[in-house]
Structure 1
Amino acid sequence: MVAVRDNRRMLGKLAVVAVGMFAFGYALIPIYQRICEATGINILSLSERQVPGVGAAGKDAKLPANTQIDYSRTITVEFDANARGPWEFKPEKRSIVVHPGELATVMYEFRNVQSRRMTAQAIPSYAPNQASAHFNKLECFCFNQYTLEPGETKRWPVVFYIDPKLTKDVKTITLSYTFFEVGGKAPAAPAGSVALAAGQRLS
């Protein structure tokens, strides 16, 4: 009888230990998140999420999810498109409003209206100039050259976030792209047109 009581007592202790270990493991995730929020580490979380339609090949791409967003500020991001040639190039939206640190996506559409194949690439520029150091693109068609068949249309994403360290006096950023055909002389970044766009609100 003594041995049976000892075994039951030991079994009870083991059950308590098992429950305590489970509770501790379950609490680790919120504890870790609280530590990250308190210390300010992990501007971009190591956890990943799927963003449909992102990627040069049109496949889903994994992007880090934002964990640090400055909800006290908003920045208007305007999108401009300049086509140096006989083709159509435009953003899906003229502007969006984002919070610093917030992940955002805007689509650009390009159409080759010529009767021949062409290869082209885009050059980005920013206004005001100091915004370029804080405009972080995770995915952009400007990273590569693209070949389009006659009459072919492509839609490409720009996935970005604005660093919260951007000075608070910047309320509007204009992202401008100049699309030019590869093989010809690459034009300079359209600084004049961007400055104009920064001073005039796009409709």
Structure 2
Amino acid sequence: MSSNSGWSFATALRRDNLQMVGKLVVVAALMFGFAYALVPLYRAVCTALGINVLSLSERNHAVRAEDVKNTQVDRSRSISIEFDANARGPWDFKPAVRHLEVHPGELTTVMYEFKNVQNRTMSAQAIPSYAPKQATPHFNKLECFCFNEYTLAPGESKQWPVVFVIDPKLPKDVKTITLSYTFFEVAGKKAAQAPVKALPGAGA
């Protein structure tokens, strides 16, 4: 093979490689742009359909008062429940109590306090998380402010309830559960009022 042929082959190979790299860069940019555009598109579709996706899974796992009445309280066990609150923004958000001892099957109510310390109206949403993870399907809520988005006026304060019961089927090795909420601002919506109602057998 002549030197000219070798040079031509190397040049063609280099050109093909550059073209391939260019195509990959374009594909990566398109994928990034598509993923970025999905966020507002997803929220817009859900808003149009009246679906609060952030709370949908929580709603699906909510229990009824009738189901709790038929649940036997296991007084031979006590579960330590830790309450945590995180605010993604300049506002005050905290639980009224930080710790409770509860029996599996026992109906319990805990209040969370929120204050909009800004000089503007804002809408916010709370998203819960649980630790350890295996406790998640056993932490059943009857009422929770995390089911909805809420709008608060400047300086407005609210107290919202979390009414829950720990499933007696919770694994025996789980002694402590941490319920953590993260409160963050979302696109403004019409104000919703969190229902605060006394349920039979509920206690702080």
Q: TM-score normalised by the shorter chain: which range applies?
A: 0.5 to 0.7
**Match in the other structure for 2:102:** 98
User: Equivalent of 1:78, from 82, 97, 100?
Assistant: 82
- What is the aligned partner in structure 2 of residue 31 from structure 1? none
Shift of residue 173, structure 1, vs aligned partner: 0.1
Q: Determine the C-alpha separation between the residues in 1 that align with 2:181 and 2:142.
A: 16
Aligned pairs for 1:41-56 within 5 A: none
For the residue of structure 2 that corresponds to 1:139, the secondary structure is strand
C-alpha distance in 2 between matches for 1:143 and 1:97: 24
Q: Distance in 2 between matches of 1:80 and 1:170?
A: 18
More strand per residue: 1
Please tell me the residue identity of whatever aligns with 1:107.
M
Q: CA deviation at 1:63?
A: 3.6
Gaps of 5+ in 1: 1-61, 185-203
User: How much has 1:150 moved relative to structure 2?
Assistant: 0.1
| TM value normalised by structure 2 | 0.58
Residue identity opposite 2:148 in structure 1: N
Residue-pair matches, total: 123
Q: Which has the higher helix share?
A: 2
1:171 and 2:175 matched: yes
- C-alpha separation in 2, matches of 1:153 and 1:98: 28
Structure 1 position 147 matched with structure 2 position 147: no
Please state how far the C-alpha of 1:126 moved relative to its aligned partner. Answer: 0.2
The match for 1:138 among 137, 142, 148 is 142
**Aligned equivalents of 2:100, 2:87: Cα separation in 1:** 22
4+ residue runs of structure 1 moved beyond 4 angstroms? none
Give the match's secondary structure for 1:93: coil
| Deviations, residues 137-179 of structure 1 (Å, cap 9, x unaligned) | 0100000000000000000000000000010110000000000
The structure, 1 or 2, with the larger RCO (C-alpha pairs under 8 Å, 6+ apart) is 2
Aligned to 1:127: 131
Residue of structure 2 in register with 1:59 after alignment? none
CA-atom RMSD in angstroms:
1.5
Deviations 1:64-88 (A, max 9, x none): 4535101110001000000000000
Deviations 1:16-58, CA, capped at 9 Å, x for gaps: xxxxxxxxxxxxxxxxxxxxxxxxxxxxxxxxxxxxxxxxxxx
Q: Distance between the aligned counterparts of 1:93 and 1:63, measured in 2?
A: 23
Give the corresponding residue for 2:5.
Answer: none
- Of 73, 83, 87, 2:91 maps to 87
Tell me the TM-score normalized by structure 1: 0.59
Supply the distance in 1 between the matched residues of 2:187 and 2:151 (Cα, whole angstroms). Answer: 12
Structure 2 gap ranges (5+): 1-63, 189-204
CA apart distance, 1:136: 0.2
Q: CA deviation at 1:183?
A: 2.7
Aligned amino acid, residue 92 of structure 1:
A
Cα distance in 1 for residues equivalent to 2:88 and 2:115 = 13
